[in-house]
Amino acid sequence: MTVEEARRTGIGRLIVESVDLSLYIASAELGGERIILAREDGSILKTRNLQAMKELLAPLADWPSVLRQRSAYDEMCGQSWAAADNTLEVPLDVRGQPAPRREH
């Protein structure tokens, strides 16, 4: 589902998942179902920085949004990944915000 298709469906919840240090993937929760968002060409909507993702999701700024990250710490230290959910979710504002001005 594209961002435009999601916008036309009504209001859901946006999830921007931090998959790696610099890889973000967006999905939408609509009616209890999680749907990965896609570009117009059908490829997965992913970016290399959070600001770029916010800009792409700006048409859905009225939706509640979260940034989600899972830690690999438990797995790295030998604990079972199923022992506890260590997912961190923080509120995210996807309104188009200008990039910070850098002065050197």
Residue 90 within any structural domain of the chain: no
Q: How far is residue 40's CA from residue 56's CA, in Å, rounded to a whole number?
A: 12
Total count of domains within the chain: 1
Domain enclosing residue 44, as ranges: 3-70
Q: Where are the alpha helices (DSSP H) in the chain?
A: 3-9, 50-57, 73-76
Q: Is 16 helix (H, G, I), strand (E, B) or coil?
A: strand
**Size (the chain), residues:** 104
Residue 60 within any structural domain of the chain: yes
Residue 29 within any structural domain of the chain: yes
Question: Cα dihedral angle (15, 28, 26, 72), rounded to 10 degrees?
Answer: 50
Residue 88 within any structural domain of the chain: no
Full pLDDT tens readout for the chain, 104 residues: 999 999 999 889 999 999 887 899 999 999 889 999 999 999 999 999 999 999 999 999 999 999 999 766 555 566 665 556 678 889 998 875 556 666 76
- Residue 9's domain is classified under what CATH number? 3.10.20
